Amino acid sequence: MRRSRQSGLRQLRAHYPNQGAAVNAMDAGAAGAADWRAGAVRLVFAANRADEEMPMFALTDLFSVDGRVALVTGGATGLGRICAEALLSAGARVLIASRKAEACEAAARELSAIGPCEGFGGTVADEAGVAALAAAVRARTERLHILVNNAGISWGAPFATYPWKAWERVMAVNVAGLFALTRDLAPLLFAAASPDRPATVVNLGSVMGTVTQAESAYAYSASKAAVHHLTRILAAEFAPKQVTVNAIAPGPFATAMTRFALGDEAGAARAAHASPMGRLGRPEDIAATVIYLAGRGGAYTSGAIVPVDGAAAAFAPPSLFGQHD
């Protein structure tokens, strides 16, 4: 019994170094096995209660990206600009790239009012464009903590006349370009990552990659489903390198890409009515999600497809058997 008791006391001292005096008092005062074990239970309970009174974390730390370097593709407009603004507001240095260099540089100048932002031309539409974009990033930083793969295009046309070139172009930008840029920038992500603070890849998917509707954008919907699956594949491959990979799957947001459907009051109202939550997405819906995934709070989340769609992807269809409440 004496050996068991001494072993137990050593463990208590090791696990609760701040309770040394209490352990010594318990050792001196306990007459038998039942006494010291009861005392051990009381000590552990008291120590845990004391720990609970201490804050485990600061909310500002959980959602901060202070000192981190981020790249947002397609960051001059739409959801990409929202992501860039959110990361800047949370303390990151942000690089934004898009096909239209002048517009991107102008956007960066505006965003620099929030924090350090650099804009330059870049495309993921072909191999040469990806290589040039990756080189431009390497020229600006040796480490990349956050990569937001936002650049994307859509193409709508009737099923009977949907063209081959739509598939080539959309899949090239939305899938092949996303993959190739991530591959080329992976060394910078790995260099920035650590077990305490992983690097982060955030891919922009879509609710259209989840629901079985095309809305005449067949290639777009298929490409976003591919982005979701590729996200999970890369999450598994990058985990040992301490890099998280997740996707955001937005529902309807008013952007340049959705202007054809949401660009007027009637279209916006129609889309809002079709949403289970009865509204379109708002900038803060995307901003908060990207900050969570890129911040310390999302450090153990990887391989997730985060729906930011007002429950559109989860909304059940009408009963197949005609049974309604």
Task: Tell me which residue of 157, 134, 160 sits closest to 147, measured CA to CA.
Answer: 134
| Both tokens assigned to 186 | 């992976």
- Residue 237 vs residues 32, 143, 209, 241, 245: alpha-carbon distances, Å: 54, 19, 22, 8, 9
Q: In what order do the strands lie in the sheet with 305-308?
A: 117-121, 93-98, 69-73, 146-149, 199-204, 243-250, 305-308
Of 16, 162, 218, 220, the catalytic one is 220
**Under DSSP, is residue 65 helix (H, G, I), strand (E, B) or coil?**
coil
**Under DSSP, is residue 114 helix (H, G, I), strand (E, B) or coil?**
coil
| Both tokens assigned to 150 | 């936002």
Q: Tell me the residue type at 52.
A: E
Residue 97's DSSP bridge partners are 73, 120
Q: Is the CB of residue 78 less than 8 Å from the CB of residue 262? A: no
CA 40 to CA 19: how far, in whole Å?
11
Q: State yes or no: is 218 an active-site residue.
A: no
Active site residues: 220
